[in-house]
Each structure stands twice: as structure tokens, then as C-alpha cells.
Amino acid sequence: MDLQLSGRVAVVTGASKGIGLAVTRTLLDEGVRVVAASRKSTPELAALGGANLLHVPVDLMDPEAPGQVVARAVAEFGGLDILVNNAGGPPPGVSLPRFGFLTPDDADWRAMFEFNLFSVVRAVRAAIPAMLARGGGSIVNVSSGGAKLPAPMNVDYNAAKAGLNNLTKALSEEFAPQGIRVNTLSLGPVRTAWWTEEGGAADIIAAQAGTDRDSVMNSVAPEMMKLSTGRLVEPQEVADVIALLASPRSASTTGADFAVDAGFLKEI
């Protein structure tokens, strides 16, 4: 199916690995010109290099960074059609999961909201004028099933993602008449660096459960989270849905939330 994306311009945050890398690769394959934002590049991102890819090294914890990325997209590629707010999860230097409400302090809460909500607010604020100048666009915000299924684990993260979901609905209501569609993806556990890196979620849960990291990813986590598919989500599976939401093929889809979560959310 032709997604009708060729020649469009996208900004993808958190683009150097995991979901962001898969999204960047997928959009490039569809003929999109992509501005990839991340604190640093990776060999995998560099391997995608070409005339249609621009990497902008930024720390999205910097309030000026989201606007700078959008400005580079407009300056280098002439405008902006797609914004994928993928960067999120543990702020730089933080490992999740964290257990219990009393564990994160004020600084932890501020950092979590800065990375998972305020950086999105700033990116959208910068992107909307550029999209309106092109007659519309698509914004995809990567959220979490934890926003709808709160638990005494990662309380600050889940609260930030719940705020992101609310923001998405409000943006959709205001800007859909002007041609800007805004949607969310509610993810379950995805096989990314958050889980797989040393000291990441798999290691933390392994220490709690008295097992090893591979067992956590292959069986313990799927069982603990009651994943219907019995496995973690793959980044490409998320990227495919994002590409469809970015496409004019989804012209009547806005204010919607898509669960790409291996069956994590059971509620109707």
C-alpha cells in the first residue's frame, strides 16, 4: 500500500535507537525527509545516512531544544508535515522501573515530567505554526499503557503519560479543523534499550525476581504483565503503526489512541 508520504518532512525524537530508529528507517523507506533528534548518533542511525536524513544532536531536557529541532527541519527541508514525539521513558541517567510512590522525590518527578510531557509540549508548540503553513500535518505522541492502568510502580512516569494522553485529545479538538491530526500510541513493554541495556529494566526485575535478564525478557516480564502474545513488542511493530498514522491514508483518524502493547491492556 502506498502511504503517500514521499516528499514529506518529519521530525522524530529519540531517533538514535529502538523505536525512534525503526520509525526513522521506515519513514525514510517511504520517501520522507527525516530530521532525527537525539542526544547523540549511533552507528545504526549513521548507516541510514543520505540526503533525506539530518541528525540534530540535542538534549530534550533543554527547554530550547524542541524548537531548535523544528527550526532545523524548516530551514533544511522547507517545512514540516509530521512530528513523532517518541523520546520518553527514563530521563537521562535514570533507570526504571522504580517501585512505590515514596521512591521518587521532587527532583525525580520534575525530571520525569520534563522529559515525557514538557518536551512534547514544546515540540508541538514549535511544530504547529510550521504545519499550518503547509496546510496541516500529523502529530503522533508515543504514550504508555501505564497511563490507563496505573500501579504502584513508575508512578511518576505513568502520571506524565496520562497527561500526554489528555494533551493529545485537547490538541486534536483544537487543531483538527485546521488540518492537523494528533494521535497517541499506548505501548506495552517494547524490546528496546530501556529493557536490554545493562542496568535496565530487565536487570532490575531480574534482581527482584532472583533470575537472569534473558529470562525476564522472554518469560518473566510477559507473565508478570499478562501479555496476551507472550512476548515483548518489537520496535518495528510500533514503527509500522506510526507510519500509517502519519500517512494521509489516516486522514479521518485524530484524537485516537492505538494500543501496541502485546495485549497488556485488557479493559474495554
What's residue 29's pLDDT? 98
pLDDT of residue 103: 97
196-254 pLDDT per residue, tens: 988 999 999 999 899 999 999 999 999 999 999 999 999 999 999 999 999 999 999 99
Cβ within 8 Å of residue 208, ≥6 positions away:
99
The confidence band for 194, taking pLDDT boundaries of 50, 70 and 90, is confident
The 3-class SS string of the chain reads: CCCCCCCCEEEEECCCCHHHHHHHHHHHHCCCEEEEEECCCCHHHHCCCCCCEEEEECCCCCCCHHHHHHHHHHHHHCCCCEEEECCCCCCCCCCCCCECCCCCCHHHHHHHHHHHHHHHHHHHHHHHHHHHHCCCEEEEEEEEHHHCCCCCECHHHHHHHHHHHHHHHHHHHHHHHHCEEEEEEEECCECCHHHHCCCCHHHHHHHHHCCCHHHHHHHHHHHHCCCCCCCCECHHHHHHHHHHHHCHHHCCCCCCEEEECCCCCCCC
pLDDT at residue 267 in the model: 87
First CA to last CA across the chain, in angstroms?
30
Q: What is the CA radius of gyration of the chain?
A: 18
Fold observed for domain 9-188+234-259: Rossmann fold (3.40.50)
Q: Is 259 exposed, middle or buried (0-12, 13-18, 19+ CB in 10 A)?
A: middle
Catalytic residues: 157
Q: Is the pLDDT of residue 158 over 90?
A: yes
pTM recorded for the entire structure: 0.96
Give the three cell numbers for residue 186.
Answer: 499506548
pLDDT tens digits, residue range 26-37?
999 999 999 999
pLDDT at position 268 over 90: no
pLDDT at 150 over 90: no
The answer on pLDDT for 144 being more than 90 is: yes
Residue 21 has pLDDT above 90, yes or no: yes
Q: 87-111, pLDDT tens digit by residue?
A: 999 999 999 999 999 999 999 999 9
Q: Where in the chain is the domain with CATH 3.40.50.720?
A: 9-188+234-259
Peptide bond into 97 cis (omega under 30): yes
Q: What percent of the chain has pLDDT over 90?
A: 94
